[in-house]
């Protein structure tokens, strides 16, 4: 994506300003899969801030404002404590920082499970307050009626089956799902139920690869894999995981860089220069005008 830079005079920061272009839409994401085939896989990453969105936007089809911000941003032990306020605020920042990708926002635990009416109230608030294009919710067949209810009322929904982090207390941990025949059949059945209910895409997380492939073939909408299979119709990772911001990451994460090491080295240099009084130098200070 071609960009120019616009100086923000209030902060002296140069912010990338993309050339005018049309943002992708939910129907275009859905249309990536035609006749059961996706020729070019969809690219999705998580984003939680405007600046992060600016950096990711040109390369992604979808930016997911994930409730993984619980651990990544807030240092919480799970996604359970996340609130609608958190999701709305971070989603609004990501929308402001992006111009190309479809922005999808996670519905937090407790905001949609009680009834389809509760789900509509929560989802409509998230979209109105953030400007995001769609919501994502966890759960399979038991959420199909809610997905249809939202879709029929103008709210696009991305589904999420397999390892569902909001159900960690029921699942007993973050283990891969589908290791027995009954669970494998349930995962595929859940994906089919969401597809029939109108989900425009479905995240398959932490499932055995043959199940991910079977589920992908069984649904007409795109599947987005995370710890699933390269044969899914797209892939998603938590951005901070793939950038190497954390020492320990799930097995399915590939670290493309070690940004934590870069930050540590850079801050160590800064600290050394401050203690040696070599920073700031003349280049970073304001001097009286001569004459």
Binding site for 3-methyl-2-oxobutanoate, by residue number, is 67-68, 106, 136
CA–CA separation, 124 vs 122, rounded Å?
6
Q: Which of 205, 247, 257, 273 is catalytic?
A: 205
Q: Which residues does the annotation place in the binding site?
A: 67-68, 106, 136, 138
Q: Which residues does the annotation place in the binding site for Mg(2+)?
A: 67, 106, 138
Query: Environment class of residue 212 by beta-carbon count within 10 Å: exposed (0-12), middle (13-18) or buried (19+)?
Result: buried
DSSP state of 290: P
DSSP string of 28-43?
HHHTTEETTEESS-EE
Q: Tell me which residue has tokens 């597809």.
A: 195
Inter-residue contact 208 to 181 (CB < 8 Å): no
User: Facing residues of 133 across strands?
Assistant: none
Neighbours of 80 (CB within 10 A): 16
Q: Is 205 a known active-site residue?
A: yes
**8 CB contacts (<8 Å, ≥6 apart)?**
14, 15
**99 CB contacts (<8 Å, ≥6 apart)?**
1, 18, 21, 23, 57
Instruction: At 245, give phi and psi (nearest 5°).
Output: -80, -15
Look at strands 3-8 and 37-38 and give their pairing: unpaired
**144 CB contacts (<8 Å, ≥6 apart)?**
193, 194, 196, 197
Which token pair is 17? 């300003």
Q: Where are the beta strands (DSSP E) in 21-156?
A: 33-34, 37-38, 42-46, 62-65, 102-106, 134-136
List, by residue number, the catalytic residues. 205
């Amino acid at each position: 994506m071609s960009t120019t830079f616009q100086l923000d005079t209030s902060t002296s920061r140069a912010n990338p300003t993309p050339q005018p272009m049309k943002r992708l839409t939910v129907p275009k994401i859905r249309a990536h899969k035609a006749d059961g085939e996706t020729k070019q896989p969809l690219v999705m990453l998580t984003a939680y801030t405007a600046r992060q969105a600016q950096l990711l936007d040109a390369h992604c089809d979808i930016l997911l404002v994930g409730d993984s911000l619980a651990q990544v941003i807030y240092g919480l032990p799970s996604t359970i404590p996340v609130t609608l306020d958190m999701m709305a605020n971070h989603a609004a920042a990501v929308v402001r920082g992006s111009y190309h990708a479809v922005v999808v926002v996670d519905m937090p635990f407790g905001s949609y499970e009680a009834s389809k009416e509760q789900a509509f109230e929560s989802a409509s608030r998230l979209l109105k307050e953030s400007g995001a294009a769609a919501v994502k919710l966890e759960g399979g067949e038991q959420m199909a009626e809610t997905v249809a209810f939202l879709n029929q009322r103008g709210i696009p929904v991305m589904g999420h089956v397999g390892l569902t982090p909001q159900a960690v207390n029921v699942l007993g941990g973050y283990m891969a799902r589908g290791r027995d025949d009954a669970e494998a059949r349930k995962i595929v059945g859940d994906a089919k139920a969401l597809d029939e209910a109108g989900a425009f895409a479905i995240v398959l997380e932490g499932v055995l690869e043959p199940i991910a492939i079977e589920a992908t073939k069984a649904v007409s909408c795109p599947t987005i894999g995370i710890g699933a299979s390269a044969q899914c119709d797209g892939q998603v990772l938590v951005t901070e995981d793939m950038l190497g911001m954390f020492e320990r990451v799930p097995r399915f994460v590939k670290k493309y860089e070690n940004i934590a090491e870069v930050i540590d080295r850079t801050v160590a240099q800064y600290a050394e220069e401050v203690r040696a009084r070599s920073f700031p130098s003349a280049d970073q200070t304001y001097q009286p005008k001569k004459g």
